[in-house]
Amino acid sequence: SFCSCLGVFQLGNRPPPTQQPFALRGQPTHMADGTASASAVVGGSWSRPKGPSPDDDKLMEDWKAQGKLHILEGVWCCVPYKVTVVPGAALGDAEASKTKAQEIIDAVADQAKKTFSHFEPDSEVSKINSLASGQVHEPSSAMRLVLQTAATLNRLTRGAFDPAILPLYLHYKHGGTGSEEVAKCCKWSNFKLDDTGIARTNPDSKLDLCGLAKGWAIDEMAQQLKDAGFTASFVDWGGDIKVTGTHPAGRNWTVGVVEPPSEKEIGKGAVDGAVKQHLAHIELRDGQSMATSGDYMQTLGSCFSHVLDPRSGTAVKITGDSCASASVVASSCMLADALATAAMAVSGPGAKEGRKLLDMFRGSGLKDPVLDYLLYSRWGPRVIRLREPASEIAEHREDRHTRHYDAHVVVIGGGLAGLSAAIEASKARARVTIIEKEQEMGGNSAKATSGINACNTRVQKANGVDDDGRFFERDTHVSAKGGISDLGCVSTLSDKSAEAIHWLMDELGVPLTSLSQLGGHARKRTHRVPPRADGTPVPVGWSIMQHARGAAAAFEGIEVKTGCMMTKLIQEEVDGKREVKGIEYKDETGTLQTLLCDAVVLTTGGFGYDFGSGSLMAEHRPDLCGVPTTNGSFATGDGIRFGKDIGATLVDMDKVQLHPTAFIDPKDPGAHTKYLGPEALRGSGGILLDQQGRRFVNELDLRSVVSKRILDHCEAYKMPDGTEYRPWSWCVLNNESQEKFGKPMLSFYRDQVGLFEAVEGTKGLAELIGCPEENIIETLKEYASAVDQMICQKTGKVVFPSRFCETDTSFILGRITPCIHYCMGGLEISSVGEVLTQAKSGAMGKRTKIGRLYAAGECTGGVHGGNRLGGNSLLECVVFGRMAGERAATIQQKSPTALDKGDWVPLTLREVRATDVKYGHNTAVYRFNLHGSLQTTGLEVGRFIAIRGELDGDTLTGYYSPISRPEDTGIIDILCRTDDKGGPIVQFLTGMRPGSSCLMKGMGGAKLVRQPSDNSWSYHGREVRKLSLLCGGTGLAPAVQIARAYINSIQDGPLALSAQGGVKIVYAAEAAGDLAFTAAFDALKARYPDLLSYYLVLNKPPAGWTQGIGFVDPDCIRKNLWFPPTDDHLLVMCGPPIFEKIMCGNLTKMGYPAEQFYSFSADPEATA
Residues noted as catalytic: 659, 682
Residue in 516, 520, 548 with CA at minimum distance from that of residue 529: 516
Distances (CA, A) of 14 to 22, 715, 955, 995, 1162: 11, 72, 8, 23, 27
DSSP assignment of 354-389: HHHHHHTT-SGGGT--EEEEEEEETTTTEEEE---T
SS3 of 22-79: the string is CCCCCCCHHHCCEEECCCCCCCCCCCCCCCCCHHHHHHHHHHHHCCCCEEEEEEECCE
Residues 561, 545: contact at Cβ < 8 Å? no
Indicate the residue type of 521. H
Distances (CA, A) of 376 to 308, 548, 626: 18, 39, 66
Residue in 41, 38, 61 with CA at minimum distance from that of residue 50: 61
Compute, in degrees rounded to 10, the torsion defined by CA atoms 1037, 1039, 1045, 1046.
-170
Residues 802, 791: contact at Cβ < 8 Å? no
First vs last C-alpha separation in the chain: 14
- The verdict on whether omega for the bond into residue 381 sits within 30 degrees of 0, i.e. cis, is yes
Name residues whose C-beta falls within 8 Å of residue 863's C-beta, 6 or more positions apart in sequence.
485, 486, 489, 490, 493, 824, 872, 876, 880
Residues 620, 393: contact at Cβ < 8 Å? no
3-class secondary structure, 594? strand
Residues 648, 850: contact at Cβ < 8 Å? yes
Residues 420, 548: contact at Cβ < 8 Å? yes
- The verdict on whether omega for the bond into residue 1124 sits within 30 degrees of 0, i.e. cis, is yes
Name residues whose C-beta falls within 8 Å of residue 796's C-beta, 6 or more positions apart in sequence.
698, 701
Distance CA 300, CA 318 (A): 10
Distance CA 33, CA 278 (A): 12
Distance CA 338, CA 151 (A): 11
Residue in 877, 884, 880 with CA at minimum distance from that of residue 850: 884
Distance CA 603, CA 874 (A): 12
Residues 465, 364: contact at Cβ < 8 Å? yes
Beta bridge partners of 600: 410, 853
In the sheet that holds 230-237, the strands lie side by side as: 70-76, 79-87, 230-237, 240-244, 289-294, 323-330, 370-377, 382-385
Indicate the residue type of 691. Q
Distance CA 193, CA 211 (A): 20
Please, what sign has the CA dihedral across residues 815, 819, 822, 825?
Answer: positive
Distances (CA, A) of 934 to 705, 758, 973: 43, 61, 15
Backbone angles phi, psi at 226, to 5 degrees: -65, -45
